[in-house]
A and B are shown apart, each in its own frame.
Chain A
Amino acid sequence: MSVGDYIRGSQIWKSIFRHPAPYDRRNRVVVMLTNFFLHLHPVSVKQQGIALSYTWCMGGITFFLFLVEAITGVLLMFYYRPTLEWAYQDILALRDVTTLGIMREIHRWGAHAMVITVWLHMYRVFLTGSYKPPREFNWVVGVLLLVLTLLLSFTGYLLPWDQLAIWAITVGSNMARATPVLGHEGPGFQLLNLGGYDLITSGSDARFLLLGSRFVGEETLNRFYILHCVAIPLAAAGLIAIHFWRIRKDGGISQPL
């Protein structure tokens, strides 16, 4: 008996996988049904639905990049402190002295890549007409995921707290002060006033809500940190679950009739 067979025959192995290795047809079916991770998939699919030249694998790659970002992100969180005093120093140390400082590179390039793959995924879903009934709603879920992906990237951009970071966020968030009615430089902000006093000022408008301050400062760093590490990832994970569930319920990957 080979070592492999011994391990696969052991009680521990069987307790985890509950069935023999997927060498024959029966067990290849069973593995898909009994494994938590694999049960995302159906047991069998049409060949074209998984052809690389059809799906471009872009949704799958986006999901994988999301996982990579979660893992590298947690590792970075062990090191990084979101305060004016430490944020930049910690990133500097990640670059110069920290073992596995390359996690920052992987996290950053992974984030760029995810933005690209999510666009390409949308592009292919459009070009194959897969948003058409019965998949309309999953397309809407997808657009929400696209927004969350961009927001994840945007909030993360601030965390290194260097010139690149704060000015990019300043340019981006300056738009919020021009929100109609709710931004203090937006059209119609004068509409919200009580007895001649403006309710919308630089200390109470949409931009202030976003930044937690009148300019990009310590409160912003804290706000973006929590959005980036907790709030948006959780929302995205939830929506991805719905997205995947809907793919199955809507009849799997779209097929020509």
Chain B
Amino acid sequence: MNVDPFIDPHPNLTPAVLQGLGWLYLVLCAMNLWWTIRVYREDKHVMVPVLNIELPRATFWALYTSALMIVGFMHVSWTNEDYIDRFPLVLEPGGPFQTTIDFVVANPVTYFVISITGTIAVLLFRKFLVKPTVGWILLNAAVLFQALSMTDYDFRQIVGKPDNVPIVALLYLVGGFTWLYFYKAVENDRRLAEWDGEGPVPVLENDENEKVLVWPDLVYSELICMIAITTLLIVWGIVLEAPLEEPASSAKTPNPSKAPWYFLGLQEMLVYYDPWLAGVVFPTMILGGLMAIPYIDFNRIGNGYYVFRQRAFSIITFLVGFITLWVAMIILGTFLRGPNWNIFGIYEYWDVHKLEALNNVMLSELFYLDWFGQFLDMPSYGNDDPLGKQVSMILLRELPGFAVIGIYFVALPPLLAMTCLRTFYQRMGYLRFMVFTQLLLWMAALPLKMVLRWALNLKYLVNIPEYFFNI
């Protein structure tokens, strides 16, 4: 095969990319056409400040829609390979936009801070976010961000991997359904606040809630749904070929080696906890905790409708668990973790030689050497010492870690029962409260260990390599 030395092996733009993006812009244009008509029918007007004229709101959406159409056609028609470099790119490769985004996401600290503040912001500003216009603008922003990013070679390498496509879909689906949830919950909260307690609960779900026959009302929607899903799978199957790499070889370890995407949250946990915790204990706790939910949630109201205020605590806990600690970790593991499990920006080349300084320390070292080094010696033993002495030395060495963990799991629950979770304790009873706090503490254990790692470079609280026991 002749390779033209002047052809960039990692081209940001190719005719196929421009074609694909063109169609994406045209689809977005069609969606916005529908939206413009909707807004036009509402017949609302706004004053344009400087010009001092009143225009229908739809005018702005119409302008945006036309712009999308022009951009779309421009992409679709730019098929000449030789002029590909002259395509007026909006996103400069390596420009300030890309560098800023990479700087922010390619760092576990900022990444985690953003995902947690994002969750909090959604909770705080829910009333604003559920306005249809705001939702629509967010959707457009997400699609545009993705479309623009697709003009970057490295971004395409990860996002376009056939097995990663579902994760992109997952992002939009989780975002969309969360929006839908808040849309209904905010409305129901408002109605419940005004309710005098008479008659059936005045929630959205009780409007127009007559009995209907399953045939035809349900069976027909099921049929349509089945046809839609079948079509989707067939089209997906035609467009994207299932991946097949080289034949298996136990001699050639790929770098990075990744678990299937739905387990990447657990693999990400391996950065902070040893396999026995991240791979065995945490999954068990997650599943046990999920099964325990109906038995520890003592709040009987809020069954059968979307609501926030009546169930704020349980909803917040679940959102943090599902979005921040599960979905966001999967995104991190899939899109940002590269060779040697280093973290890379979304526009960054996966360089196998990228080095990250690792100078992690143990709590025992911090305790006996740094903090109290003047007064204490690190307990140690020789290999010839009797077993009893070895074990007691190990225990003494790891005493600080055991103390921290003991306080966390043993002393904290009663403390919580007496202070901020007092009402919970009274309503739940002893056993239920203990199970509940243990699960909550396990859930918080991941972000806490992350913070300890970033703040103190702490690797293990308890470190007994002699018995594979590290926490």
Contacts and interface: CB of A to CB of B under 8 A. Distances in A.
B218 A88 contact: no
B375 interface: no
Interface string B208-241: 1111111111110110011001100110111011
A232 interface: no
Nearest to B466: A190
Contacts of B423: none
A136 interface: yes
Nearest to A162: B245
A154 B263 contact: yes
Contacts of B294: 131-133, 135-137, 139-140
A4 B276 CA distance: 65
B248 A120 contact: no
A108 B242 contact: yes
Contacts of B219: 38, 41
Interface residues of A, number: 100
Interface stretch (B58-66, B250-258, B349-357): B250-258
B281 interface: yes
B469 A105 contact: no
Contacts of B304: 128-130, 254-257
Contact of B214 (A45, A56, A167): A45
Contact of A255 (B205, B234, B238): B205
A153 B262 contact: yes
A216 B250 contact: yes
Contacts of A13: none
A213 B263 CA distance: 22
B263 A172 contact: yes
B419 interface: no
Contact of B257 (A52, A123, A168, A188): A168
Nearest to B184: A53
- What's the dominant secondary structure at chain A's contact region? helix
B435 to A, nearest CB: 14
A179 B280 contact: yes
Interface in A168-185: 168, 170-172, 174-180, 183, 185
A54 interface: yes
A108 B244 CA distance: 12
B258 A171 contact: yes
Contacts of A162: 244-248
A63 to B, nearest CB: 10
B365 interface: no
Contacts of B87: none
B339 to A, nearest CB: 13
Contact of B279 (A91, A104, A146, A175): A175
B229 A52 contact: no
B322 A123 contact: yes
A241 interface: no
B213 A29 contact: yes
Contact of B233 (A38, A68, A154, A183): A68
21 contacts: A32-B214, A41-B214, A42-B214, A64-B226, A68-B230, A102-B238, A105-B241, A119-B170, A123-B177, A128-B304, A133-B303, A135-B294, A143-B287, A143-B290, A147-B287, A154-B263, A163-B252, A175-B278, A175-B280, A189-B468, A256-B200
- Top 4 closest pairs, chain A to chain B, by CB: A175-B279, A105-B237, A136-B294, A178-B275
Interface of A: 22, 25, 28-29, 31-32, 38, 41-48, 50-54, 56-57, 60-61, 64-65, 68, 88, 91-92, 95, 102, 104-106, 108-110, 112-113, 115-116, 119-120, 122-124, 126-133, 135-137, 139-140, 143, 146-147, 150, 153-154, 157, 160-168, 170-172, 174-180, 183, 185-190, 215-217, 254-257
